[in-house]
Structure 1
Amino acid sequence: MVVGKLFHVQIIKHEWLKARAEENWDREIPFGALRGEINDRNGQLIVGNRLAPTLYYMPSQNKEPEKAAAAIASVIGMDKDKLLEKMTKKAYMVKLAPEGKNITQDQADEIAKLQIDGLYTGVDFVRNYPNGELLSRLIGFTGYDGDGLAGIEYAYDEILKGTGDKIRLYTDARTIPLPHVDDSFETGKNGASVELTIDLEMQKAVERELQQALEKFDAASALAIVMNPKTGEILVLASVPSFDPANYQNADPSIYNRNLPVWMTFEPGSTFKIVTLAAGLEEGVIDLHNQHFNDPGYTMVANARLRCWKREGHGHQTFLEVVENSCNPGFIEIGRRLGGEKLDKYIRDFGFGESTGSGIAGEAKGILFSQKAFGPVEQATTAFGQGISVTPIQQVQAVAAAINGGYLYKPYIIKEIKNDKGETIQSFEPEMKRRVISEETSAKVREALESVVANGSGRNAFNDGLRVGGKTGTAQKVVNGTYSDGDYIVSFIGFTPADDPELLVYIAVDSPKNSIQFGGVIAAPIVGRIIEEIAPLAGIEKREGQIEKEYRWGDPLTHRAPDLTGMTKGMVGRQLHTYRIQWHGDGEVIKYQMPAPDSLIMVDDIIHVYTEEE
């Protein structure tokens, strides 16, 4: 019976009993989980990982804790007595945190040379931000334990985080290593990577412009969205001021908790007039070229005097000029012709009053008038963008539909999710919600908004050959239920090219100073510069058929650059050009020139010509 029992225990039950014993003997040293990367649409790294070891200590394996504490403290910059207190705790293993957590590789190497008994180095990782503060308010950050606490890191935490590796040490009850049992290694699982729709190079250009605007106008904040209006893909999502995600503890929570393009709500001002325009054209209540409206500077609605931004009024004008001039009474008239029920329906069909469904953390819904409260005055003020509250991303979604043929696409920020082998787990495609206007109406909206940039309030966004369309916005801020005197949010929404839009750019600057507070003065030039810089990144080339910019008093005098290529010095001299020409090279024949032929140049610009031998 004894022999049989021994056979049963040592042979038949051997593996089961061994496993139970190892559970009592093992001591785990965890390796930090490798969190998934966050990349842009082209695979460029936005957030990665950096090796940051963590120290673990087994008190029973070291007979000289005072000496060990002194040696370790000198390397990690910790008080020796506090470290000794941690190292003499009655525990089988102590994590020397926070001072010994996420130490540098140099510190880990120096500690390894000390060969301190009972001291182990666990592999850990912290997030690495190769672009510094870029995109910080979108991507967010991770906390002490590596979990996502804000932004993309928080919203997609379950996808990004992994399970770390572990070293299993086998000891007796006094944590003395067991010589007859080999240590083991348990492999974890890496987190999946998230590929955004963001274009990193475009993001850099936009954030640079926003930061300059913040400083130049001493503004409270500024925000930007760049979207592909044909798909809903968000190419840029920016807010300034920003913060360092690696040191988020030093930032104001009101900065890192508020992703302004989706969180901020405010009266849109005149950028909202695009919705009223699209509705009026779709319902056929106005004709841009053949119907006229007289603006004396105000209009009366239910005994309320509603003024135009231009106190003396714009006088007699076509409805195209109403759009160019951003005339409030003119848009009130469009709203009146539509009627309250239809105007409200179009506003909601364009996506206002509800979340866009972008999936970006912290998105607000905005506030519209209820149908019961939508009286004549509310209808009138809504028609020109006052009295309601919307988010920037709602405005971008709506304007995209107005210019892309009438299709309302859901904005989205995630392009693909990939495992650690680079294999696609999930991909995201454009999602159309509904059609709100016809292609014919959309073409008229594009025409009107291109005219706004060439001849109207958006002239400072004009870019020769890129065919920019857009609309300004100037909204007085509401503080504690009343309008704040002299405090505005100025904005501009622009797109290019006007005949087939591929880029939609929205900029808003909150409480600018040191300038006239108009969207056409502050925001329009910013959008113009951004479009000029990012258009080549989107593969957009200059094209013909643009509405030429109308000269107005005060504008710099411009001309089209003559084509000098193929000419010799003698031929150029006989042309009697008044332009200043600077020659480069020793040849006679002009190979190419800068600016290019037919470019708009000012009268005092220099044309640089580059020659080659005949």
Structure 2
Amino acid sequence: MRVTRRVMRRRFVVLMLCLISAIGALIGRLAYVQIVQAPWLQSLADDQHNRSIPVQGVRGTIYDAQGQKLVYTASAPTVMAIPVQVQDKEGTAAKLAKILQMPEDKILKQLQKRVAAVYFNPGGRRISESQVQQIRALNLPGIYITEDGKRAYPYGDLAAQVLGITGAYNQGLTGIEKEYDAQLSGQEGYIIFPTNAKGQKLPGEGEAYVPPTDGEDIQLTINGTIQQIVQREIEQAVAEYNPDNVTAIVEDPKTGAILAMANYPTFDPAHWQDYPASTYNRNLAIWKTFEPGSTFKIVTLSAALQENKVNLNDRFYDPGYYEVAGHKIKCWKAGGHGSQSYLNVVENSCNPGFIALGERLGKQTLFSYIKKFGFGSKTGIDLPGEGNGILFPMSKVGPLELATTAFGQGVSVTPIQQVMAMGAIANGGLLMKPYVVEDFRDHDTGQVLKTIQPTVVRRVISSATAAKVRAALESVVANGSGRSAYFDGYRVAGKTGTAQVAENGHYSGTHYIVSFMGMAPANNPQLVAYIAIDNPRPKNGVVFGGVIAAPIVGRILGDSLQALDVPKQANGLEKKTRWGEPVSLEVPNFMGMTLNDAKQAAMQSGDQLRTQLVGQGNTVVWQAPQPGTKVPAGSTIRLFLGETPPGPPIDKSSQKQ
């Protein structure tokens, strides 16, 4: 084929177009790499050339409802190393071992790791200022001092299971610390510096600092003063009855806010490693499930009144037992209570009377109310580890199961479920969702970032029915099995509970959980309080909720209402004194007295009143119960000492530092 000039020109043009296209592609690729991929490639280069030392932000502070710091982060220096920068590993390990009081071989093993950075646990974390100065004086290559946070607890074990604990890296492990770890943690910052291919810092190069973001502060609904009252009562109960465990809760029934929550055994969160895992991992108030006993009767009573199955003036005859499906279920009182009104049935906590109410309701209706009151499902409280409780499946509820459920046997519930059910009766029939966090705040400015609003779950009974139940429960305290919870002027209403514990498939004759659940004032409840004592061992051998648990709740409610400045009322039911009961005395006013004057005033009452001194100082700045309160002879009056004007203190004296 003859190659003409025209063909050559065509070939040349094609060649030039291909060359131009190739050059254009290279230019486009170069532009793509230089402009579009530049940030990504730069980050890869930085990752290879730079090393970073993490800098922790300050973990958020946790406050009580009164603004008192329950947990805060105290700054603490920590030693870290970048192994590739440590030139003399053996010598460095030897020098650090003496200062950090750690085995030399353990430090050397850390320095020999092929990692970007290492921390020396535990001796190198949160070290003293003296250790910092010694390490800095050595000027060891590759060894750095960073700031770490150490959680501090100014009130010791106060609300320990609610607050929870943090791990070695300030991560939340239990309680509020775990539930709101993301909010409390904030974000890490970094110190960044360039290195060579071996990871060694380039001489003469500067450092870049990316500041951390502090975590958010949290304000709880927990009232520090009420929490102190609850924990003092638990300590006293433990000393007197030597139980296996105790749990107590105080709630604001109008909102569902938890004002106090405490357990025994408890622990010091600053040294949680010294305690069994079961103590710091489990919050018994929301985790533990057990048969409630007679405190559960409030559900049966509420359902029967709401469904018009009973009038409190109706009569019921109790021969001492109730026969169901061939089984005789006995009343706690030998021989029974005889003929009585249904108000007396409630006052006397008469099992046969409640079995009859269960039969009137039927299993479908009774269990529907049990579920409406929140039993059988989690309450949704903002704490980890909540239990569900256990109810009979409807297919397995026969006459016997219906009977035992009506008086609180055979079902399994948690303490928080019982408190919320009582709260629904206290507030006029609304089941509330419990919560322990009030709001979240900026750590630096204190500005409120988010406020938690009360949540109504559902209406379970009418306000009229709730008022009837409250009146009956006030009569329980004034005239019935809860008489020991009576607190003059505060119209306490409540229900006792004495539940046998099932062991090896049978109910024990010696192991009981005694409890009491109360509210006050009965006509407009401001507080609901609950306590359960597992396996109490009283010296006199009498194990009843009305004897052991009721007076504790009475004191918790009375002292707490006084701390909240709730005025007393004169229109409540008068407590009817029975033969053999101690005489009631009016508490003198000790506030403002010197210690010596207070002792003399107490002595003038003979041996009828005892005093307990709390705190240090020479002046009585507060007392519980308050002046004018009527208490049984022999009661103990707590006198808070100090040098400040009278007012309700948060007591630190009985807490671990």
* TM-score normalised by L of structure 2: 0.81
Find the counterpart in structure 2 of residue 241 from structure 1.
265
Q: Is the counterpart of residue 439 in structure 1 residue 463 in structure 2?
A: yes
* 8 A Cα contact 1:225 1:237, kept in partner: yes
Give the drift of 1:130.
1.9
Matches within 5 A, 1:175-254: 175-254=199-278
Find the counterpart in structure 2 of residue 541 from structure 1.
567
Distance 2:56 2:315 in 1: 70
C-alpha RMSD of matched pairs (Å): 3.0
* More displaced stretch, 278-287 vs 76-85: 76-85
Give the drift of 1:442.
1.4
Distance 2:330 2:262 in 1: 34
Q: Is the counterpart of residue 319 in structure 1 residue 342 in structure 2?
A: yes
Distance 1:364 1:397 in 2: 14
Give the drift of 1:596.
9.0
Give the drift of 1:477.
0.6
Q: Is the counterpart of residue 370 in structure 1 residue 370 in structure 2?
A: no
Q: Is the counterpart of residue 163 in structure 1 residue 193 in structure 2?
A: no
- Structure 2 letter corresponding to 1:338: L
Distance 1:371 1:91 in 2: 59
Find the counterpart in structure 1 of residue 550 from structure 2.
524
* 8 A Cα contact 1:267 1:387, kept in partner: yes
Find the counterpart in structure 2 of residue 461 from structure 1.
485
* 8 A Cα contact 1:559 1:603, kept in partner: yes
* 8 A Cα contact 1:229 1:401, kept in partner: yes
Give the drift of 1:196.
1.8
Matches within 5 A, 1:2-41: 22-41=46-65
- Structure 1 letter corresponding to 2:431: L
Matches within 5 A, 1:47-66: 47-58=71-82, 64-66=88-90
Counterpart secondary structure, 1:489 = strand
Matches within 5 A, 1:542-561: 542-558=568-584
Distance 2:351 2:462 in 1: 25
* 8 A Cα contact 2:317 2:340, kept in partner: yes
Q: Is the counterpart of residue 409 in structure 1 residue 401 in structure 2?
A: no
* 8 A Cα contact 1:275 1:402, kept in partner: no
- Structure 2 letter corresponding to 1:107: Q
- Structure 2 letter corresponding to 1:134: L
Among all aligned residue pairs of Structure 1 and Structure 2, give the percentage whose two residues are the same amino acid: 46
Q: Residue 487 of structure 1 is aligned with which of 511, 530, 535?
A: 511
* 8 A Cα contact 1:488 1:517, kept in partner: yes
Give the drift of 1:554.
1.1
* More displaced stretch, 367-376 vs 441-450: 367-376
Task: Determine which structure has more spread, i.e. the larger CA radius of gyration.
Answer: 2
Find the counterpart in structure 2 of residue 102 from structure 1.
126
Cα deviations by residue, 1:355-414 (Å, 9 ceiling, x for unpaired): 112232111111112222222221111111111111111111111112221111111222
Distance 1:226 1:19, change over 3 A: closer
Matches within 5 A, 1:252-331: 252-288=276-312, 290-331=313-354
Give the drift of 1:64.
4.8
* 8 A Cα contact 1:34 1:163, kept in partner: no
- Structure 2 letter corresponding to 1:251: Y
* 8 A Cα contact 2:584 2:630, kept in partner: yes
Find the counterpart in structure 2 of residue 391 from structure 1.
414
Unpaired runs of 5+ in structure 2? 1-26, 590-603, 607-623, 636-657
Distance 2:252 2:543 in 1: 29
Distance 1:343 1:398 in 2: 14
* 8 A Cα contact 1:237 1:261, kept in partner: yes
Matches within 5 A, 1:97-176: 97-176=121-200
Give the drift of 1:101.
2.2
Distance 2:117 2:467 in 1: 71
* More displaced stretch, 135-144 vs 552-561: 552-561
Name the count of aligned residue pairs.
570
Distance 1:340 1:81 in 2: 69
Distance 1:58 1:374 in 2: 66
* 8 A Cα contact 1:51 1:105, kept in partner: no
* TM-score normalised by L of structure 1: 0.86
Give the drift of 1:229.
1.0
Distance 1:28 1:503 in 2: 53
Distance 2:101 2:417 in 1: 50
Q: Is the counterpart of residue 332 in structure 1 residue 358 in structure 2?
A: no
Find the counterpart in structure 1 of residue 647 from structure 2.
none
Distance 1:558 1:387 in 2: 39
Q: Residue 405 of structure 2 is aligned with which of 382, 387, 402?
A: 382
Distance 1:495 1:485 in 2: 30
